[in-house]
Structure 1
Amino acid sequence: MLNLKALQRNKTVRYGIPMLLLIVGGSFGLREFTAIRYEAQKHRRKLDPSLEAKVNVERQSVILEEEYEKMKQMNLVEWKNIRGPRPWEDSREYQEQQRSRQKEKD
């Protein structure tokens, strides 16, 4: 009885052992939860076999020279960078300004 009361008063037994159990138990728990998370991501990434075959064919058929030829055919001299509206601006008003500017140039 005397030893039990002495153990209850001991700070290591009272605070240290529960803290160690929390840390060690938490690491095992987190390992299980993260394993579930990564398994779920693997299942979401799986594609239908027919769709996956199409994606792989498209990836393999891209040739750098063909893409270069497509870029040469594009008219980049007359290309214009148009800024979109800011979040605080009214998008309809901004679109009307862009349209009126375009009409003035034409």
Structure 2
Amino acid sequence: MFKRLSVKFIKFGKTPSARYGIPFVLFVVGGSFGLQKFTEIKFKYANTGVLIHEEAKKAGIEMKKPEEVTLEAVYDSVKDIDIENWKNVRGPRPWEE
């Protein structure tokens, strides 16, 4: 009886559904449990709120007022930049110092 059962188990292990299907299903089901932690973190920190100017100043971050940063103001500061004449400057590499 045990020998027949072991032979059937060995035959089943050689089928494509056992070799590829079972690991795939385990990967999908295990992945969903693994991703559960990431989605939990995402929803935990999703509603942290907007950074307030007073809190930013306490933290040492200089923020402009929203009225100062408009599309037109940024366009005016960028439109005078010469983008036709430029030189590609390579940054230093750690091994070239």
The normalised TM-score by structure 1 is: 0.42
Larger helix percent: 1
Point out the structure with max Rg over C-alpha: 1
The normalised TM-score by structure 2 is: 0.45
